[in-house]
Amino acid sequence: MGLVKTDEEIALLRENNQLVSRTLAEVAKHIAPGVTGLKLDKIAEQFIRDHGAVPGFLGYNGFPNTLCISINDVVIHGVPSAYELRDGDIVSVDCGTRMKGYVGDSAYTFAVGSVSESVMRLLRATKESLKLGVAQAVEGKRVGDISSAVQRYVESLGYSVVREMVGHGIGTRIHEKPDVPNFGRCGSGKKLIKGMTICVEPMINMGKRDIVQEKDGWTIRTKDRKASAHFEYAVAVGKEQPDVLTTFEYVEEVLKQKGNMI
């Protein structure tokens, strides 16, 4: 399959990513001190199956769960565990689906209870950098325009960008070409064409950019143990403007009700 998707393919990717969006909202309802990642994982798996899809990450390269649950200094690929969330934690929930031959992949970082103002600023900045990056997903621009929009914004605030892990194309598989780094130069990289579908997913560190992988073979955390945030949209490159396939609307409706907006 080529990088450019047909309207029918984009519709199926939208369907998957809308289900991911609604799954994240379902998870959001349950995020609170005392809740475990394993419990959130069960809720997500049930919700996905109840809606006619299967979890996209479960079994992917041997991943054992439905969600990646990445807490505090964990950047991505955290494995759900019996750890009970605590007041002041942040938790990135990354979710995938598979339905009708296509996949969904999106992520949101939540605040558990009351989180320090400095970490809240990191969350807001990372989410804003996602929006700035995605705004570049327009025909005629290049991948580097997305990358540099993310990097320039977060580095201007004193944060750092993870280099080793990047966004990606999405289609019948979770990770397709091209790579979509969160750092790079304007005007560099692959030219964007209408109908290309990509995941933009800034992983932004409060401290230094360096990461390490834990012995479990999955968990990626910051080397300096400072907090890291992660937000992800799936998006189709548009002629005039990006066609975002994910929405945070459902999640943010839940957070508003909980009085827990980031």
- List of residues contacting Mg ion (CB under 5 A): 94, 105, 107, 199, 201, 232
Least distance (Å) from Mg ion to the CB of residue 170? 7
Least distance (Å) from Mg ion to the CB of residue 19? 14
Q: Report residue 52 CA to chain centroid gap.
A: 22
Residue 93: in which H helix or E strand, if any? strand 90-99
Phi, psi of 52 (to 5 degrees): 80, 15
For Mg ion, the closer of residues 235 and 254 by Cβ is: 235
> How far apart are alpha carbons 56 and 23 in whole angstroms?
12
Least distance (Å) from Mg ion to the CB of residue 117? 27
For Mg ion, the closer of residues 110 and 258 by Cβ is: 110
Least distance (Å) from Mg ion to the CB of residue 96? 6
For Mg ion, the closer of residues 153 and 233 by Cβ is: 233
For Mg ion, the closer of residues 149 and 174 by Cβ is: 174
Residue 34 backbone zone (phi > 0: left; psi -120 to 50: alpha; other: beta): left
Least distance (Å) from Mg ion to the CB of residue 114? 27
For Mg ion, the closer of residues 149 and 239 by Cβ is: 149
Residue 204: in which H helix or E strand, if any? strand 203-205
Whether residue 51 contacts residue 136, with contact meaning beta carbons closer than 8 Å, is answered with no
CB count within 10 Å of CB 202 equals: 36
